[in-house]
Each structure stands twice: as structure tokens, then as C-alpha cells.
Amino acid sequence: MFAQKRLQKELHNIHNYLPPGIGIASASDLSIWKMDIQVLDTNPLYADQIYRLQFKFSQSYPIEAPEVTFVKEDGIEIPMHPHIYSNGVICLDLLGKNWSPVQNVESVCMSIQSMLTSNTKNERPPGDDNFVRSGYRSPRNINFVYDDDTV
């Protein structure tokens, strides 16, 4: 119940204001939202591209982190990044063990946006093939090892 209340509040704010490069694609209910993000500087990897993030909220949000993945839709690709698997799963400590209830959809979008902005490597995470083949879509069931602080 507290999840709904908080999400309504966030949605209200999102409709009022969003930072540049972040937009709301769809939020028809209070369990799955889709957000569009765009890298604003001239990073050649992501220039003029819009990427779509999918947020899945559990009933325990914001105590529990939302499941955040990139999604592939018409004309929208999964961004190239050494921490983003080609099925859209994002390896980001903020969405896992370092999640904190003070984070919100906007702050998560901004973190991911800056994660893309600062990236220079045009590559997938090591072991991407295996990971994607295993079909694990939900980030919740994955124990990431966050050991790269450079990105």
C-alpha cells in the first residue's frame, strides 16, 4: 500500500518536471513504468539515440529496489555498455545491494544516464553470450559482483 502511495507521488512529480534527456514513455499502472533516456553530450556511442528503461516495482518499493532493465522495442536498441547485457539487464550496484529507499525513478534514470555518458567502450560485459542464453531476465535473481569502480 505504501508503494502505491509513493509511486503516485513520484508520478505526479515526474509529470511536472523531469531533468533534460529523461522522459516518461508509459506509466499506465503502478507496477511497470517505461522511461526514455537520452545521452545529452556528443558521446559518439549514444549520439542521437533514445533508450528505453523498464521499471518494475514490487509491493515493497521503495524498501526494495525496482527491477530496472533496458528494453528493446521498435527502433529502440539496448545501449552498448560494458555493464549492460544485450538482453537489457543492467549491472549497477545502485539497483542491487546499494539500493536505498531515498532513491527514486528520477535519480535512477539520472544515474544510468550518467553511466552511459561517461562510457567510452563500445563493448558488452564479458560473458554476455552465456548470460543472455541462460535466459535470466529478472535482475533480482542475479548476484552481480560489483568490482569495477571505473565506470
Partner 1 sequence: MDVNFPDPTDWLSTSVPGIQALETALSCQVCKEFFTAPVATSCGHTFCSLCIRRCLSATQKCPTCMTTDDESRLRKNTLVQDILSSFTAIRKQMLDGLVIKEEPEPPITKEPEAEKKRVEKRSSYDFDEEIEEEETTNNKRRGKRRKQEEAPVSSGGSSDRPRRSTRTSSQRTNSKISSQTAIVIDDSDEDFNPNEINSDNEFESGSRPKRGRPSRVPETPPTTNLVPCPICGRLKEPEQIQSHANRCIEGKRSPSPSQNAANAASSSLSPLKRPPISFSNIPKPAATQFRAPYTEEEKQKLKLAKGNFTLTKEADIRKRLRENGIRVDVKGKESKNAIWARLQEWTNLWNANLDSEMPKTKQALVKELETSERHQQSQKPSVVQDKEFAREEWGKDHRTEYENMIADAKMRVLKKKNEAESATNGDKTDTASEPPRMTAEVNGIGSPEIIET
Residues that bind partner 1 (CB under 8 A): 1-2, 5-6, 8-13, 16-17, 31, 56-60, 62-64, 82-83, 85, 91, 98, 100-102, 104, 125-127, 130-131, 133-138, 141-148
16 contacts 8 by C-beta, under 8 angstroms: no
Least Cβ distance, residue 18 to partner 1 (angstroms): 12
Going 96 to 101 to 106 to 107, the CA torsion angle's sign is negative
- Decide whether 118 or 146 has the Cβ nearer to partner 1: 146
Least Cβ distance, residue 50 to partner 1 (angstroms): 25
> Residue 45 corresponds to which cell in the numbers above?
556511442
> Residue 26 corresponds to which cell in the numbers above?
508509459
Using CA atoms, how far apart are residues 135 and 129, in angstroms rounded to an integer? 10
- Decide whether 59 or 122 has the Cβ nearer to partner 1: 59
Within 10 A of 90 (CB to CB), how many other CB atoms are there? Answer: 25
Beta bridge partners of 55: 33, 68
- Among the listed residues 3, 27, 90, 91, the single catalytic one is 91
Least Cβ distance, residue 139 to partner 1 (angstroms): 10
Using CA atoms, how far apart are residues 107 and 105, in angstroms rounded to an integer? 6
Answer yes or no: 109 catalytic: no
- Decide whether 48 or 145 has the Cβ nearer to partner 1: 145
- Decide whether 48 or 149 has the Cβ nearer to partner 1: 149
Query: Cα separations (Å) of 83 from 21, 130, 147, 150?
Result: 20, 15, 11, 11
Least Cβ distance, residue 118 to partner 1 (angstroms): 16
The catalytic site residues sit at: 91
